[in-house]
Amino acid sequence: MPDQRISAQPDPTVDPALRSWVEVPLDSGFPIQNLPYGVFRRPGEMSRPGVAIGDQVVDLAGVAGLGLLDDDLDARELLVHPSLDALLAAGRPTWTALRRALSRLLRADTADLRDHPRRGELLIPQSEVQMLLPFVVSDHADFYGSIEHATTMGRLYRPGDHDPLLPQFRHLPIGGHRRARGVVVSDTPIARPSGLRRAADGAAPVYGACEQLDFEVELAFVTGGANPPGQPIPIESAGEHIFGFVVLNDWSARDIQRYEAMPFGPFASKFMATVSPWVVTTEALGPWRVPGPSQDPPVAEYLRCREPWNLHVTLETRLQTRARRERGLPPAVVASTTTERLYWSAAQALAHLTVTGGPMAPGGVYGLGTVSGWQPEEKGCLVERTLNGAEPLTLDDGEQRTFLRDGDEVSIHGWADGPGYRLSFGAARGAIAAAHDPQRGRQHALSRTR
């Protein structure tokens, strides 16, 4: 049995008894125990880092500029920036010190900001700000950590196989590289992609707008610090590099994917991924860390983890359609699933990502893979839910979907409940816009190559 102890020192920033002088509604999801990091902008102003508390954002550049954080933190160096890049590069000791300083500053019994004459400028209603991608995404990969998802996909895509799970599934976290520039923040429109898909047997493939556009419900970890080339990150050091987590929608063009994916994995079909604007820190998630499922056969030494690194997070997916919007109906809940049963944890994914000595820079976004359960309502993508379009999903207003239509808006909401409070990730939301005219795109490309 692995030793499943949690670190001995209790973390004062997640004490359920903590209260802030900022008013936090009970159902807010942003109590003082959360303090997720993001980057915001008000119209006409520069973008800058903030933490969410209640329905407000604390302007971290402003707070650091006034010297309200501990001197030994170099808070100006870290926070007077248009992004979180400097903070991500700084590493674990700085992250822990900053979080403790912010928790102390916002605590009910700390007067420094509470009674400061400029407090009104430094606390901004979330409703007045636009959220931006909070850091330069240096790298993006996606894993395949859900045994339920991998099994269903194996049955759908390799129906002749005796075992729908590939033999290596239980030996290592299977992953694939994606494009860093494809990671966008919530509320960025998603244009329907075009590409090649298989035609009838023997016929040439067809180029056109994707007809099987899908979502994938995921949690992703955000990395900081770096490892030099040739030096793997040992699994027991994962906490030094995992800054926090975001909700991620890994948009997937299934018809394009099916034609291109063998033998090298999905490529153009994985074109964009939408992330929630708030990065919930590893410390804030401490109370929700749980041991993962037992792994049989036993995994290689470099993947053996003594600390619990699975998370008990709920991911709820809502679909808003044009018809529902026109009739004044709220979005329909189309999937609800939790992440604690993922076969491979974030720590194992990071250890595997670097086991060969491949370097990692601050600002990596690594998806843990589509989170699915065995029940239909736990399926984290439409291809699984509808068995590749064979069984349409019927919404509560009678509308049906096999895959996404133009005008559909998908929002994935993440949260964790208890002890005594809710911790929210916000949502990863994106609406599908019509494809760029494939014919015009082709002619444009041809005219440029002539």
**Residues forming the site for Mn ion (CB under 5 A):** 142, 216, 250
Residue 271, judged by CB atoms within 10 A of its CB (0-12, 13-18, 19+), counts as buried
**Least separation, in Å, of the C-beta of 207 and Mn ion?**
24
Alpha-carbon distance of 7 to 10, in angstroms, equals 8
149 is catalytic: yes
Residues recorded for the chain: 450
The gap from C-alpha 317 to its chain's centroid, in whole angstroms, comes to 13
Of the pair 29, 266, the CB lying nearest Mn ion is at 266
Of the pair 85, 216, the CB lying nearest Mn ion is at 216
Of the pair 166, 206, the CB lying nearest Mn ion is at 166
Going by DSSP bridges, is the β-strand pair 273-275/183-185 parallel, antiparallel, or unpaired? parallel
**Least separation, in Å, of the C-beta of 218 and Mn ion?**
6
Here the tokens at position 317 are: 């997916």
Amino acid code (one letter) for 127: S
**Least separation, in Å, of the C-beta of 449 and Mn ion?**
33
Of the pair 250, 340, the CB lying nearest Mn ion is at 250
Of the pair 59, 384, the CB lying nearest Mn ion is at 384
Q: Which of 140, 149, 241, 352 is catalytic?
A: 149
- Residue tagged 């799970």 (tokens): 165
Alpha-carbon distance of 325 to 245, in angstroms, equals 31
- Residue tagged 């490309």 (tokens): 445
Of the pair 101, 220, the CB lying nearest Mn ion is at 220
DSSP string of 167-207, one letter each residue: GGGGTS--EEE--GGGEEETT--EEPPEEEE--STTSPPEE
**Least separation, in Å, of the C-beta of 21 and Mn ion?**
41
Alpha-carbon distance of 42 to 126, in angstroms, equals 10
**Least separation, in Å, of the C-beta of 371 and Mn ion?**
10
**Least separation, in Å, of the C-beta of 178 and Mn ion?**
9
Task: Report H helices in 287-329.
Answer: 322-326
Residue 251: closest CA among 137, 409, 387, 395? 409
Of the pair 90, 381, the CB lying nearest Mn ion is at 381
What radius of gyration do the chain's Cα atoms show? 22
Of the pair 142, 316, the CB lying nearest Mn ion is at 142
**Least separation, in Å, of the C-beta of 262 and Mn ion?**
17
Amino acid code (one letter) for 199: A
Alpha-carbon distance of 190 to 184, in angstroms, equals 9
Here the tokens at position 309 are: 């690194």
Residue nearest to Mn ion (CB): 250
The gap from C-alpha 262 to its chain's centroid, in whole angstroms, comes to 26
Residue 213: closest CA among 394, 427, 435? 435
Residue 440 φ/ψ, nearest 5 degrees = -65, -40
**Least separation, in Å, of the C-beta of 143 and Mn ion?**
8
**Least separation, in Å, of the C-beta of 216 and Mn ion?**
4
CB atoms within 10 A of CB 443: 11
The gap from C-alpha 363 to its chain's centroid, in whole angstroms, comes to 13
Of the pair 148, 250, the CB lying nearest Mn ion is at 250
In the chain, DSSP finds a helix count (H) and a strand count (E) of 13, 26
Residue 106: closest CA among 49, 34, 48, 29? 34
- Residue tagged 């500053």 (tokens): 105
Which residues are catalytic, by number?
149
